[in-house]
Amino acid sequence: MLKFTDDHEWLRVEGDVAVVGITNFAQNQLGDLVFVELPKVGAQVKKGDPAAVVESVKVASDVYAPIDGEIVEVNESIVKEPQIISSDPMGKGWFFKMKIGVPAQLEGLKNEAEYEALVASAH
């Protein structure tokens, strides 16, 4: 199951864990990425908390936790090579995995068609 936030994060549900990253639209808006800061494994985050930071040449942006939960794994390879996010934002460019705290929160997120409509309206 793939879900999206209004803030351009994506979330893929794999059992009781969600993989989180930023969308192609988001990485495209940011441009060349130069720095990523990830949360600590074990951190408890609430929906809407800034959980990670991504910086381009020009600007720093927060990546928000899309739901409540515990960070169980982070993708160190994007810290070494932030360009991975640009080349494969929905795959190898994932940011962190979190244990889903409140499954009901998933229902408040957008599906792919709804997200595509949001992006289209932003143009």
Partner 1 sequence: MSEALQDFKTDLKRTPLDGFHRRAGARMVPFAGYHMPLNYAGGIIAEHQHVRSAAGLFDISHMGQLTIRARSGDPLAACTALEALVPVDLRSLAVGRQRYALLTNERGGILDDLMVARMPDSLFAVVNASRKDADQKYLREKLSATCDIERHDDRALLALQGPLAAKALEEFAPGVSDLAFMDVRSMKILGRECIVARSGYTGEDGFEISVPAEIAELFAQKLAAKEEVKLIGLGARDSLRLEAGLCLYGSDIDESTTPVEASLSWAIQKSRRPDGERPGGFPGEREIFRELNEGSSRRRVGLCPDGRAPIRHGARLFESKTAQEPVGHVTSGCFGPTVNAPVAMGYVKREIPEGAIVFAELREKRIPTKLVPLPFVKPNYKRSQK
Nearer to partner 1, 31 or 108 (CB): 31
Q: Where are the alpha helices (DSSP H) in the chain?
A: 24-30, 77-80, 83-87, 112-121
Phi and psi at residue 100, to the nearest 5°: -65, 115
Phi and psi at residue 70, to the nearest 5°: -110, 135
Does 35 interact with partner 1 (rule: CB under 8 A)?
yes
C-alpha 28/C-alpha 106 separation (Å) is 25
Q: Write down the least CB distance from residue 7 to partner 1, Å.
A: 5
Q: Write down the least CB distance from residue 14 to partner 1, Å.
A: 21
Residue type, 95: F
Which H or E run contains 35?
A: strand 33-37
Nearer to partner 1, 1 or 34 (CB): 34
Span interacting with partner 1, options 34-42, 69-77, 97-105, 112-120, rule CB under 8 A? 34-42
List the interface residues with partner 1, window 47-106 (CB under 8 A): 53-64
Q: Write down the least CB distance from residue 65 to partner 1, Å.
A: 11
What is residue 110's DSSP assignment? B
Q: Which residues bind partner 1 (CB under 8 A)?
A: 7-9, 22, 26, 29-32, 34-35, 37, 53-64
